[in-house]
Amino acid sequence: MSGHPSLLRLAPAALQPLPVGTIRPRGWLARQLRIQADGLSGHLDQFWPDVADSAWIGGSAEGWERGPYWLDGMVPLAFTLDDAVLIARVRRWIDVILERQHDDGWPGPVHDTSDARRKPLDPWPVFVLLKALAQFQEATGDQRIVPAMLRFLRRLDTLLETHPLFDWGRYRWADLVVTLHWLYERTGDAWLLDLAAKVRRQGFDWRAHFAAFPYLSKLQTDEIYPAEPPPGCTFRLDMASHVVNNAMAIKAFGIWSRQSGDQADRDTVWRMIATLDGYHGQANGLFSGDEHLAGLNPSQGTELCAVVEYQYSLETLIAALGDPRLADRLERITFNALPATFAPDMWSHQYVQQVNQIRCAVLEDTVYTNNRADANTFGLEPNYGCCTANMHQGWPKFVTHLWMRTPEDGLAAIAYAPCELATVVRQTAVRVTVETSYPFEEVIHVTVWSEAPVQFPLLLRTPEWSTDAMLTIDGSTERLAPHAFHRIERYWEGTTRLELRLPMHATVIRRAHGGAVIERGPLLFALPIGAEWRRIVPGADIRIAAGERLRPSCPPTIAERLGDWEVLPTTPWNYALELDVAHPERSIQFTRHPVGATPFSPDDPPLVAHVYGRRVPSWGEEHGAAAPPPSSPLHSSEPREVLRLVPYGCTTLRIAEFPLLKR
């Protein structure tokens, strides 16, 4: 090995993700991934030019991030479902990219000429490609992958001496460090850690940025794009305030801390999360950014790319740091924000979602920082096509991170959903099956089967909200502490059945101006607003994706499923709730139903809550969106009504952050 002595050490990760394809979804989760594969995700490469005709595979369309984005989500989707058709299609992409790798190691287009803004030798899209290649290697053991990755990284190592990181790559450097650490663990090549240190030095210093965080409210256009940079400013304000860059950056110093050994780097993770929550946080677990950080108003949007990138940041941080609180946030985003931003059949999606979303329409007067008029409509490519390319990773990467390996060669449950994993533990075949309707129910059945007697630890995560969790094994029941990994150390022989019970209680969380949201376990509840889906007719004032952005050879069976849609309200929305905040169970009643074929169906939600409320006529609209909730508590003389609330992920139009009535 060579390199600086201080860089020859990479601290072991707290947990190790299992290879892609090890964990298979079951039950409602398998149905959700099947919906995704049968929707846009599984067909995009057949009709959308930026994937179907990508310059990455020799076509004439976009040759920057969109092809790698699609591949980064499709590899885990294909192998998680064990779908032979999807596997063949991602394998074709991998084969072509490897065959076309340049002699100097650069994969894919050297210069994306489809957009005049693009610069040659931009490493950012290759960072994304490397993530896809790593997953493919895990799933297949393909021996071409690691050498191809190393050839590029040698080229990059030399290139950075004269062409330092710039633009997106400078702000998203942590995505490359994840891959460099993955490769180091497989090769032991110390120069990879040297390169990681170089990338960290050239990358934007998010730690210093959040130590003196400047964005304390919604940004205005002149703050994002000032006529002249502020004195002493050494970074691009539009990049540092970009919602997706911030979602990606949350993992940066947690990942880097494995190499630095600096506790302050680990602390930066929590400072970033707390700061973003404090100034821009939203009830669905996200922070606002309708392209740029947008404050606490629940009518501000959050980009779909930020949803899936925040998920990925949390997944990588859980592995690096092993903190169960990160998994609480992962479940909150996955079970609420992720399904809510897609149509139920996943044939259309939004660019941004809003916690209080009273209409999805083409509006010239909008609440956004600088998104286009169609940003919250549903379609193929609303506002901008990055989300169309990048949205695919959310569900399948969640599956691949449901369980991880512990340093002692045990297994740890990170998040809960129905699944099955088959692996080898201490030279013994082991299978773990999880049967549950969680997060819609509180009971989780875990079955462990071992081929022969074997001793290893099994860790079960208890969420922070679960103050009375109970575990039953072999007829013996014990209470578990919250926000922890409960360790079960025993010999596993044959079949062992465990029952984990995570009692869920209604909680009321206070928000700005005295408002409130209702939670139950990891789920956020919302008032569904009656919705009329209206197809958008293409016009000169808007780039309509469906129709204008299709391959001429798009199969008719696909074309008929595509469309761009406004969703308009048909029922009132401006209600305040009558809640006993100290004892919410006295004012909220829940009813459970079986999880249907579409798990997050607006028509058949698995959970329903009933509460009392009254209309607030003075709560109106601003810029085509719901005005911020009025200060609480307030009085209303309108009739008392029984309101039906459903899980946030089961809504299209909704109110989830409410004012409260005086009691």
For the residues of 108-170, what is the DSSP string, one character each?
S-SS-TTSTT--TT--HHHHHHHHHHHHHHHHH--TTHHHHHHHHHHHHHHHHHHS---HHHH
Please tell me whether residue 643 adopts helix, strand or coil conformation.
strand
pLDDT band at 9 (very low <50, low <70, confident <90, very high): confident
pLDDT band at 550 (very low <50, low <70, confident <90, very high): confident
Bridge partners for 509 per DSSP: 517
Note whether 440 and 480 are within 8 A (CB).
Answer: no
From residue 532, how far is each of 44, 300, 358, 613, 653 by CA, in Å?
26, 22, 12, 24, 10
Burial status of residue 161 (CB atoms within 10 A of its CB: 0-12, 13-18, 19 or more)? exposed
Share of the chain above pLDDT 90, in %: 91
Full DSSP string of 277-323: HHHHB-TTS-B-BSSB---S-TTSEEEHHHHHHHHHHHHHHHHHH--
What is the reported pLDDT for 3? Answer: 43
Residue 318's contacts (CB-CB under 8 Å, 6 or more residues apart) are: 14, 15, 326, 327, 330, 401, 404, 414
pLDDT digits over 339-362, tens only? 999 999 999 999 999 999 999 999
What is the reported pLDDT for 554? Answer: 86
Section 520-541 average pLDDT: 88
What is the reported pLDDT for 183? Answer: 98
- What sign does the CA torsion over 332, 377, 394, 40 have? positive
Asked if residue 566 has pLDDT above 60, the reply is: yes
- List the single range of 94-98, 456-460, 550-554 with lowest mean pLDDT: 550-554
Q: Which residue has the tokens 């079951």?
A: 26
Asked if residue 2 has pLDDT above 80, the reply is: no
pLDDT band at 541 (very low <50, low <70, confident <90, very high): very low
The token pair at 200 is 């960290």
Q: pTM of the prediction? A: 0.97
What is the rounded average pLDDT for all residues in the chain? Answer: 96
Asked if residue 617 has pLDDT above 70, the reply is: yes
Strand 411-413 relative to strand 443-462, pairing: parallel
Asked if residue 477 has pLDDT above 90, the reply is: yes
Amino acid at 81: L
pLDDT digits over 31-51, tens only? 999 999 999 999 999 999 999
Asked if residue 7 has pLDDT above 70, the reply is: no
HSE value, Cβ hemisphere, 13 Å, CA-based, for 237: 17
Asked if residue 542 has pLDDT above 90, the reply is: no
Please tell me whether residue 266 adopts helix, strand or coil conformation.
helix
Domain boundaries, the chain: 39-203
HSE value, Cβ hemisphere, 13 Å, CA-based, for 560: 3
Q: What angle do CA 24, 27, 33 make, to 5 degrees?
A: 60
Amino acid at 332: R
Asked if residue 547 has pLDDT above 80, the reply is: no
Burial status of residue 478 (CB atoms within 10 A of its CB: 0-12, 13-18, 19 or more)? exposed
Asked if residue 211 has pLDDT above 50, the reply is: yes
Long-range CB contact pairs, 54-62, < 8 A, 24+: 55/108, 55/109, 55/112, 55/114, 56/93, 56/96, 56/97, 56/108, 56/109, 56/129, 57/92, 57/93, 57/96, 57/97, 57/100, 58/96, 58/100, 61/114, 62/112, 62/114, 62/115
Q: Which residue, among 345, 362, 366, 342, has the nearest Cα to 294 in the 3D structure?
A: 366
Section 119-144 average pLDDT: 99
Share of the chain above pLDDT 70, in %: 97
Note whether 379 and 311 are within 8 A (CB).
Answer: no
pLDDT band at 629 (very low <50, low <70, confident <90, very high): very high
In whole angstroms, what is the distance from residue 547 CA to residue 542 CA? 13
Strand 621-622 relative to strand 654-655, pairing: unpaired
Instruction: Quickly list H helices, 563-652.
Output: none
What is the reported pLDDT for 25? Answer: 99
Note whether 392 and 77 are within 8 A (CB).
Answer: yes
- List the single range of 69-73, 125-129, 543-547, 624-628 with lowest mean pLDDT: 543-547
Full DSSP string of 371-390: --TTTTSBBSSSS-THHHHH
Asked if residue 545 has pLDDT above 60, the reply is: no
Residue 261's contacts (CB-CB under 8 Å, 6 or more residues apart) are: 9, 11
Q: Which residue, among 433, 247, 440, 435, has the nearest Cα to 335 in the 3D structure?
A: 440
Asked if residue 380 has pLDDT above 90, the reply is: yes
Asked if residue 202 has pLDDT above 70, the reply is: yes
pLDDT band at 539 (very low <50, low <70, confident <90, very high): low
What is the reported pLDDT for 548? Answer: 60
